[in-house]
Structure 1
Amino acid sequence: MAPPPLFEVRGLSWSKTGEKSPFLSDINFTLNPGDIIALTGKSGSGKSTLLKCLAHLNLYEGEVLLHGKTPKACGVPKYRTKVLYIPQRPAILPSTPIDFLKKVLALASRSTTPSAEDPEENLNSAQYIASRWNIDEELWHRKWVTLSGGEAQRIAMAIGLSMQGTEILLLDEPTSALDQGSVDSVERYVAELPSTDHSSIKAIIWITHSEDQAKKIATRRIRVENGTATEIA
């Protein structure tokens, strides 16, 4: 018997509270190792909502399967370590990026991951990734609220990418606050991850409003429109 797909979405629908008609309806697709899907569509079409459903942050109808298992079968906290959602704008967090990273690594759901086994190495990895995007080490020790939008976005990305054990990366406009030089650097680094041996990331879903970016980074493209998701040939 053939193994199940890496990641599968079957008949996913989502409705706004109090509304009878679903906002997203009967969405189906499969994600295979090496895939980078560019999720495109107009503002308000439901791209971020869909990504939050895939991260099991929104309640939905239908099935989302990782290696053939639902989030509940995996254990939702463990599922979220394997299917990692990085929002467009990091929430206003207390303290510093260093403190935030240490708290994440201390979560029970990460206790069996390589990141938790060597937190110092994980910190070094996050700082190394961020340094490639022109983030100085001293910014890790500043309060989140003092960072610019671009600095916070790059540091949050570096923290997410440094987490070993992640298999599916869900990115919500990860370059929206960056200058073009930083955009190019982030695109090159992230797009290579599914094909490298040093990363546990096997596939990526990346929301973008830029057709040029979609063409550069994606192996496949899916457009969200009128509550449905259609793969673009």
Structure 2
Amino acid sequence: MLGFDFPFGYPFNSSLGGGLSAAQNISKILFSDHNDANNRFGAATILNRSISPHKGPFWGCPPALENQYLSTTKPPFQHEHFQEWRMVERYLKSKKHRIMNVWQLLGQGSVGSQTLTGLKALHDLYMRPELTNNIKFWPFNTKWDQDLSGIILTEVWPSLNDLSAYTHPIKDARQVMACRDWILEHEARNTLSNLFKAPDRLSLSDQQKCEQEEGWILGV
């Protein structure tokens, strides 16, 4: 199991898909060089053009890269066929968690750029010949907890875990340690596989939407 702190999918019906499907689509338009420079704002512009006639939904870029499809500040969300937030994010927001969504590319706490570049990196990992047939994106290719064989890529959100027991000077490091220990505790109790089950509160239809496009956050 490998956990990554960025979304694995986009809101249902946004046409971007999730898991391997989203990673494959992004990898066709996003490029990185050996210095880790990339064209993520250009890729977001291409995606915006394909998603909706309105500006957005991706937003947040340096002023020099602003164009008619991608703005530096958040435009009105005018996209009729999909919601601004994934189901798991709406649930966390209802519980007063401060979470960001996949559309913001730049600024404090933003996760949009990490999602684009992260999914591209996972696609590159998947395409390695020795790994292609052994990697699954959860819950997309695992049917939630039905097939957990091989290498399972999961979306995690370390902010879910209690950091108070950790003293590392960097908050991100404390979050990672807390997330790691939470996973290891479940493994020690033989309850780790329970975390991969579809949440009971989701209808069958919503479970399928998450499995097909949106993904979910492990432990929510």
Q: Same fold (TM over 0.5)?
A: no
Query: Which TM-score applies when normalising by structure 1?
Result: 0.23
Query: Which TM-score applies when normalising by structure 2?
Result: 0.24
Whose strand fraction is larger, Structure 1's or Structure 2's?
1
